[in-house]
Structure 1
């Protein structure tokens, strides 16, 4: 059954908005084409989640924010997520308000700026990659995002450049009526190395809103890219995020995803292992509460010989929340010696909570290795009893078991600041 919902944008509107921001003609045309496509495309139809019951047209209005002179102008909730003095981009609502790039990185040819600026200043790079990993005509969501994205990030790392410190981006919105739709484009040339970390959050409540964001990563031969993305959006916000990576020979990506929102979530993360010897690791952690509805999909598509993927998802479901967790490993014909492993585990803390773990292996090649594990269950009463017999309260015993359940994901995060931040957010949401 098709999902028929209204189209919140017309071609003329998208093109006029683009021209008003002084964007290059090729980008104006792309936005217009995408808006026109959106009228005939359907929304994504995730497994067992009725997103047609969500308010998907609350995209908000574009509003250009005033630039900040320093980090001191950030609200406390946002400022607490910024660490160090390295590269930083901050987006408030529809646009960038703060930008910092150390001179030593700029001197190496590193580009780290908002995507709108990059489209004007580096058109040959942006046009080559923008909406190439995520096609604008995949569905209504990708088309509308291509028409309406704002702010965002463009990160380009030249050949052989290795960056030690993470580059940070902070996306926050404090007005539910303002459009909030960052697009992140990362290009890592041959044998480069980079770590990108972003946080997305909303401050305050208000009307229903949709946060739609997309990440495209291109890792050329031998490049290594780490991406950590933690979302903590309010209960009035629907978070719809698509992440894709395309990996060439011997390239590697590591995803760390923290979906810690209070509202409904559609999250889709996919690595395309195009090159021989390419590899992908993905770690996803989430906690559902209230009446949240979440669709979380992690995937790996193998084309290259000896390509390797590993996916781990851990979900804790409270109260009346629901999570549909899909792990999809696709090994194409010709991807000999490929290896794909996935694990999805759900811990339910309430009899009214629901968690479905769906491991899927699609294999079109004989000479491969692939495996999966999935489990859905409640806190083991015997474990609780054992800890209580050692003088630990029931509440503390359950808390320790939950943290132990999440530990295989959290402790493997290689970035200290991200690991510590994620741990704090998990504790906050578990205690609510």
Structure 2
């Protein structure tokens, strides 16, 4: 198989790109090795999805953006997400291939918190980055992870020192408005022992721009750390969204995922937690709304290694028109993970007879002393619910909206920033109302 000919960049271009950023030699070597892997590895095998038929070639080229001189120059899309306050402290903004805005409060900086773009972190905190980069998600997993390792740009580096509690959410906004620019941000979060942090990000693009978003999130939660991670993806029609999110939790650490998959193009997302430490826990809530002829493949996964490790996963998807959603929930309990408790629920609501939804719960258990359960359903709006609402004077249209919003409410209500919660609600209304 001659895979090298389909790769979006060659070895010399990768080396030149790394040199232009003055990256350390280890990163250059990592990029080049990853590109070599991408030429030999296969695409990921997705349940009931032919990802090889998607647009996976429109990566564009790296374009270094200019840093903004003031908050007033922020893109309008970013200003809308910031709400009425317009607060730009504790905020990163990436536009296409790189960061254009980065600001951390002096108070957090004095506590040792690092919140900057990954390119800057490579220069100023190289040892920390090298220790953790592409260790949670490995470059050699498949062709897409290898390409990400070779092409990543911009991104976020968040480091919270031991015993530090970050009491305000940290926010990142990723905007793709140039289809010819590579858009492959990497988010790396390291929470040291007994620390806590809330991180929120948004991904935005306009309809009609054909490009590939190939992003990876890595979260390292040390003993007793608590990380809340919220993300809303709203990439427009023409986009292809590829996202791997993965956390590793040490003893008594906790990760909470709150995910809104609201892209308008084809999208694949894999949100996983590796519960390595005893007493560590994971909670994942995911919603998705599909329309037109979208193809969505969403996987939520918890792998239990440690003892007494609870995990909970809830995924809710609403499909309309001819959209297709493959929803996978995977609970894997390894041998020796006694006292583990894995629960999962996948529900798909179809608003059109042409829409398709598959809910695939999987329990893979290699230990006896555990608890595990799952629930899954695929169906249309319950006519009894509609009748109940309409009998109280509510119109059919409004009753329909209330049923759908109630279906998605368990995730929307968990978003930790009020303005982002409102934005997610507005996105859902927009997708359902068009």
**What TM-score range do you get, normalising by the shorter chain?**
over 0.9
Q: Where do 1:167-206 residues align within 5 Å?
A: 167-203=170-206, 205-206=208-209
Q: Could you tell me how far apart the structure 1 residues matched to 2:130 and 2:399 are?
A: 54
SS of equivalent residue, structure 2 residue 401: helix
Q: Could you tell me how far apart the structure 2 residues matched to 1:205 and 1:112 are?
A: 32
Match of 1:327 in 2: 329
Query: 8 Å contact 1:228–1:418 — kept in the other structure?
Result: no
Is it true that 1:418 corresponds to 2:420 in the alignment?
Answer: yes
Q: Could you tell me how far apart the structure 2 residues matched to 1:418 and 1:155 are?
A: 20
Is it true that 1:51 corresponds to 2:51 in the alignment?
Answer: yes
Match of 2:110 in 1: 107
Residues 123-169 of structure 1, C-alpha deviation per residue, up to 9 Å, x if partnerless?
Answer: 11000000000000000000000000000000000000000000010
Q: Could you tell me how far apart the structure 2 residues matched to 1:344 and 1:3 are?
A: 36
Name structure 2 gaps, 5 residues minimum.
none
CA positional deviation for 1:394: 0.9
Match of 2:362 in 1: 360
Match of 2:339 in 1: 337
Q: Could you tell me how far apart the structure 1 residues matched to 2:79 and 2:377 are?
A: 38
Q: Could you tell me how far apart the structure 2 residues matched to 1:26 and 1:120 are?
A: 12
Q: Could you tell me how far apart the structure 1 residues matched to 2:421 and 2:278 are?
A: 31
Count of residues paired in the alignment:
431
SS of equivalent residue, structure 2 residue 92: strand
Match of 2:36 in 1: 36
CA positional deviation for 1:389: 2.2
SS of equivalent residue, structure 1 residue 324: strand
CA positional deviation for 1:2: 12
Query: 8 Å contact 2:275–2:304 — kept in the other structure?
Result: yes
Q: Could you tell me how far apart the structure 2 residues matched to 1:373 and 1:300 are?
A: 15
Residue from 377, 388, 394 that aligns with 2:379: 377
Match of 2:284 in 1: 282
Q: Could you tell me how far apart the structure 1 residues matched to 2:136 and 2:192 are?
A: 16
Distance verdict in 2 for CA 1:227–1:2, change over 3 Å: farther
More displaced stretch, 390-399 vs 344-353: 390-399
Residues 235-282 of structure 1, C-alpha deviation per residue, up to 9 Å, x if partnerless?
Answer: 110000000000000000000110001000000010000000000000
Query: 8 Å contact 1:12–1:32 — kept in the other structure?
Result: no
Query: 8 Å contact 1:3–1:43 — kept in the other structure?
Result: no
Residues 209-244 of structure 1, C-alpha deviation per residue, up to 9 Å, x if partnerless?
Answer: 101111000000000000001100011100000000
Query: 8 Å contact 2:117–2:155 — kept in the other structure?
Result: yes
Residue from 265, 269, 272 that aligns with 1:270: 272
TM-score (norm 2): 0.97
Residues 270-308 of structure 1, C-alpha deviation per residue, up to 9 Å, x if partnerless?
Answer: 000000000000000000000000000000000000011
CA positional deviation for 1:16: 1.6
Residue from 98, 108, 112 that aligns with 1:95: 98
Query: 8 Å contact 2:172–2:200 — kept in the other structure?
Result: yes
More displaced stretch, 239-248 vs 81-90: 81-90
Match of 1:409 in 2: 411
Residues 167-203 of structure 1, C-alpha deviation per residue, up to 9 Å, x if partnerless?
Answer: 0101001111111110000000000000111001113
Q: Could you tell me how far apart the structure 2 residues matched to 1:5 and 1:257 are?
A: 35
Q: Could you tell me how far apart the structure 1 residues matched to 2:41 and 2:234 are?
A: 29
CA root-mean-square deviation: 1.6
Name structure 1 gaps, 5 residues minimum.
none
SS of equivalent residue, structure 1 residue 215: strand
Q: Could you tell me how far apart the structure 2 residues matched to 1:402 and 1:303 are?
A: 37
Q: Where do 1:143-158 residues align within 5 Å?
A: 143-158=146-161
Match of 1:7 in 2: 7
Q: Could you tell me how far apart the structure 2 residues matched to 1:324 and 1:299 are?
A: 14
Distance verdict in 2 for CA 1:302–1:5, change over 3 Å: farther
Query: 8 Å contact 2:159–2:189 — kept in the other structure?
Result: yes
Q: Could you tell me how far apart the structure 2 residues matched to 1:72 and 1:351 are?
A: 47
SS of equivalent residue, structure 1 residue 163: coil
Residues 99-139 of structure 1, C-alpha deviation per residue, up to 9 Å, x if partnerless?
Answer: 10111111111111100110111111000000000000000
Distance verdict in 2 for CA 1:353–1:2, change over 3 Å: farther
Match of 1:70 in 2: 70
Distance verdict in 2 for CA 1:213–1:331, change over 3 Å: same
Match of 1:16 in 2: 16
CA positional deviation for 1:63: 0.3
Residues 312-343 of structure 1, C-alpha deviation per residue, up to 9 Å, x if partnerless?
Answer: 00000010000000000000000000000000
Query: 8 Å contact 2:116–2:156 — kept in the other structure?
Result: yes
Match of 1:134 in 2: 137
CA positional deviation for 1:415: 4.3
SS of equivalent residue, structure 2 residue 109: helix
Match of 1:241 in 2: 243
CA positional deviation for 1:3: 9.8
Match of 1:125 in 2: 128
Q: Could you tell me how far apart the structure 1 residues matched to 2:394 and 2:58 are?
A: 47
Query: 8 Å contact 1:10–1:36 — kept in the other structure?
Result: no
